[in-house]
């Protein structure tokens, strides 16, 4: 989650990861309050079915960055007066 925060900004983050099932897949979750470009965000990323812990963590970080970018970049905000949430879903192509 802190991957989406402005460098050096304080973040309040709680991460969780758990191997599940007999196929060795992982559940990787992250929730946090972060600062980015002078704004405060509550961001939650939930995932399951990740092939490894490290792949899942990378995907959660990428999703957090994408979500924050989507609500802070001018192009993402054009035509929208208020964006209150975003849902991203990674689908494993393997």
The predicted model scores a pTM of 0.74
Convert the pLDDT of each residue in 5-57 to its tens digit: 778 777 889 999 999 989 999 999 999 888 877 778 888 888 989 999 999 99
Choose among 6, 89, 85: nearest CA to 43. 85
Q: Say whether pLDDT at 81 is over 50.
A: no
Q: What's the CA angle centered on 75, arms 86 and 11, to 5 degrees?
A: 50
Q: Could you tell me the two tokens for 20?
A: 């599940």
Q: How many helices (H) and strands (E) does the chain have?
A: 2, 3
Average pLDDT score over residue span 58-75: 82
Cα Rg, the chain, nearest whole Å: 14
Q: Which residues contact 45 (CB under 8 A, 6 or more apart)?
A: 1, 29, 30, 31, 60, 63, 64, 67, 88
Query: Which has more confidence, 8 or 62?
Result: 62
Q: Say whether pLDDT at 71 is over 50.
A: yes
Rounded to whole angstroms, the Cα distance separating 87 from 85 reads: 7
């Amino acid at each position: 989650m802190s991957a989406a925060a402005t460098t050096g900004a304080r973040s309040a983050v709680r991460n969780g990861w758990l191997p599940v099932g007999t196929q060795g897949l992982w559940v990787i979750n992250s929730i946090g309050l972060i600062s980015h470009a002078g704004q405060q965000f509550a961001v939650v990323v939930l995932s399951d079915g990740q092939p490894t812990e490290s792949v899942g963590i990378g995907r959660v970080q990428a999703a957090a960055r994408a979500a924050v970018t989507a609500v802070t970049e001018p192009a993402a905000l054009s035509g929208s007066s208020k964006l209150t949430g975003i849902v991203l879903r990674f689908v494993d192509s393997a």
